[in-house]
Structure 1
Amino acid sequence: MTEDRQQKAPSKPGYNDCKKMENYHVMVEMQDGRSFDGILVDVSGDTFTILISEDVVVDEHGQVADERQYGYGRRRARRFRRGIYPIAGLTALALFPYAFRPYPYYYPYPYPYYY
């Protein structure tokens, strides 16, 4: 038996897809080619609000450092900026991948390790 199977093109994410991923860290790709990651905060009507993450280097006084090297007294931080975009401009929406391991794979003791 031969059946005609048509491959469906991936559909654009809509309101329901955005609502399912609300309050999660997601990867977003827009129609104009931009892609970014952030936390999807609010979905209302035809727009969604996302906190877009960006890495910054901060010195010991809390000022943003312009140097590229991490010297003494400098640390990395993550800043989130709010952005409001139309749902119609979405091309792709996916959960940000995290790898969870309850303990290291090289755990040296047999479980349980107490006597």
Structure 2
Amino acid sequence: MKDNKDKMYHLCKDHLHSYVMAETNDGYSFDGIITGLDDEYVYFAVPIEQANTPERTPASVNELRQYGYGYGGYPGYGSPFYGYGHPPRRFRRFILPLAALTAISLLPWY
């Protein structure tokens, strides 16, 4: 077990700040950017799905307002279009124990 953890540590260290596909020992796979690494954990930035994709459409006007759209679909108060607020987040942080990783493969950026 320790050999696999050491192997994953060096593999993650070689691919630090790279876009990778990672697979865990329970068969789960995901893509993301390796942002950090320590003796026990590897830290990823994992893309968040877009809010208006077919899988997830806004449920209400209130949900649209959080993205800066006010009444009637026009940009509203707190909109990034007028210099207020922040753009929606594109990545979330994901922390995974090194012992849970089984494979890392480098992915192209495009």
TM-based fold match above 0.5: yes
TM-score (norm 1): 0.56
Identity score, percent: 34
- Relative to its length, the structure with more strand (as a share) is 1
Structure 1 unaligned spans of 5+: 1-10, 65-71, 100-115
Q: When the two structures are aligned, how many residues end up with a matched partner?
A: 79
The aligned counterpart of 2:61 is none
> Which residue number corresponds to residue 67 of structure 2?
63
Q: What is the Cα-based RMSD across aligned positions, in Å?
A: 2.9
Q: CA deviation at 1:54?
A: 2.5
Higher relative CO (Cα under 8 Å, sequence separation at least 6) belongs to 2
Aligned to 1:29: 23
Secondary structure class of the residue paired with 2:35: strand
Greater gyration radius: 1
Query: Does the CA contact (< 8 Å) of 2:20 and 2:106 recur in 1?
Result: yes
Q: Segments of 4+ in structure 1 off by > 3 A?
A: 58-62
The answer as to whether partners of 2:19 and 2:33 remain within 8 angstroms in 1 is: yes
**TM-score normalised according to structure 2 size:** 0.58
The structure with more helix, counted as a fraction of residues: 2
Kept after mapping to 2: 8 A contact 1:26/1:37: yes
